[in-house]
């Protein structure tokens, strides 16, 4: 058994030929640049336009910022490995990537929960919305979102750091906590228990979101204005939640039941939750939310030249 800090993990997810990896590099680079572009576009739009300085748009902005963090925890290392001859990562680098990836996942859950709460107050208790969702309350919710997410993953990483490892081969294209825990030489009961605690917490968050949507659907039936508000602001949130949960489900299924299928398909399923939501979320909100769409689209329409008279 060697000192953990001296371990260099070998990633076994990129076994294709160099030609294939060069093609994947092109797609990955394009996807990363598009992800950064669409998220930054929405963030800058919300920050610049004073009419968008409202809780729902601030929460959307936070969701996009988290998407950039999640994508940046995955793509740079992947792009390097696609063109490299060896696919390795140091112990510290692996732990850092785990911190970044899981912080993104947990923050996504927390952000979607907070956004569901915001929509619940806006539609079910509209007269109280301005007194409840004050700038101070919005700031507190954002701080809670990030602090709670960082606390969740910090505890998980600390539990993993205490484990002596007897292996260094990770059968994925990036580091995950479960893949590292499986390399332990000793019992991982404490890690498994904490894993079930996290599952319970996130199922509870999902349950709260679904319960709030039952109330939102009921409230939206009261009047045409409530139905319009539901369709404009709640539908993109629900779509975002479903996309994120579906992506996590594919990753879980791959981790547990992934077999000897095509390597490219395995990689796509394993990394979908880091690729799809960060790219799709700002597009969903940018298209559906009329207030955001009306501020963004004019900048991309071709300017007509004034005719000389």
The three-class DSSP label of residue 86 is coil
Inform me whether the pLDDT recorded for 183 exceeds 80: yes
> What pLDDT shows up at residue 70?
93
Question: What residues does each domain of the chain span?
Answer: 4-293
Percent of the chain with pLDDT strictly greater than 70? 88
Q: Scanning the structure block, which residue is given the tokens 């039941």?
A: 257
Q: What is the pLDDT confidence band of residue 308, given thresholds at 50, 70 and 90? A: very low
> What pLDDT shows up at residue 190?
93
> What pLDDT shows up at residue 143?
96
Inform me whether the pLDDT recorded for 306 exceeds 50: no
Inform me whether the pLDDT recorded for 257 exceeds 60: no
CATH classification of 4-293 is 3.40.190.80, yes or no? Answer: no
- DSSP H helices in 87-134: 91-124, 129-132
Using DSSP bridges, classify how beta strands 8-11 and 169-170 pair: parallel, antiparallel or unpaired: parallel
Mean pLDDT calculated for residue range 268-291: 80
In the chain the beta strands, taken as DSSP E runs, fall at 8-11, 88-90, 169-170
What digits encode the pLDDT tens for the residues 115-148? 889 988 988 888 899 999 999 999 999 999 999 9
> What pLDDT shows up at residue 304?
45
* Reduced 3-state DSSP string for 254-272: HHHHCCCCCHHHHHHHHHH
Query: Which two three-digit tokens encode residue 42?
Result: 């929405």
What digits encode the pLDDT tens for the residues 79-124? 999 998 888 999 999 999 999 999 999 999 899 899 889 988 988 8
What digits encode the pLDDT tens for the residues 65-80? 999 999 999 999 999 9
The answer to whether the beta carbons of residues 161 and 4 sit under 8 Å apart is yes
The answer to whether the beta carbons of residues 255 and 176 sit under 8 Å apart is yes
- DSSP-assigned letter for residue 221: T
């Amino acid at each position: 058994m060697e000192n953990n800090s001296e371990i260099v993990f070998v990633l076994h997810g990129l076994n294709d030929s160099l030609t294939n990896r060069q093609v994947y590099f092109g797609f990955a680079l394009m996807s990363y640049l598009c992800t950064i572009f669409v998220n930054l576009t929405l963030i800058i739009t919300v920050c610049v336009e004073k009419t968008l300085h409202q809780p729902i748009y601030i929460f959307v902005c936070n969701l996009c910022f988290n998407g950039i963090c999640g994508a940046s925890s995955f793509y740079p290392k992947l792009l390097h490995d696609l063109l490299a001859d060896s696919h390795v990562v140091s112990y510290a680098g692996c732990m850092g990537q785990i911190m970044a990836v899981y912080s993104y996942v947990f923050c996504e859950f927390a952000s979607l929960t907070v956004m569901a709460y915001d929509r619940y107050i806006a539609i079910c208790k509209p007269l109280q919305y301005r007194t409840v969702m004050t700038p101070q309350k919005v700031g507190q919710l954002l701080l809670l979102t990030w602090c709670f997410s960082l606390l969740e993953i910090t505890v998980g990483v600390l539990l993993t750091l205490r484990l002596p490892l007897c292996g260094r081969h990770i059968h994925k294209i990036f580091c995950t906590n479960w893949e590292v825990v499986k390399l332990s030489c000793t019992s991982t009961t404490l890690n498994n228990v904490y894993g079930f605690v996290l599952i319970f917490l996130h199922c509870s968050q999902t349950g709260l979101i679904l319960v709030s949507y039952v109330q939102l659907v009921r409230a939206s039936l009261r009047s045409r204005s409530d139905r319009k508000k539901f369709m404009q602001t709640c539908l993109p949130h629900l779509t975002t939640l479903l996309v994120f949960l579906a992506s996590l489900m594919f990753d879980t299924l791959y981790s547990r039941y992934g077999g000897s299928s095509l390597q490219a398909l395995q990689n796509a399923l394993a990394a979908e939750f880091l690729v799809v939501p960060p790219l799709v979320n700002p597009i969903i909100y940018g298209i559906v939310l009329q207030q955001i769409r009306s501020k963004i689209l004019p900048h991309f329409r071709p300017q007509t030249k004034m005719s000389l008279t």
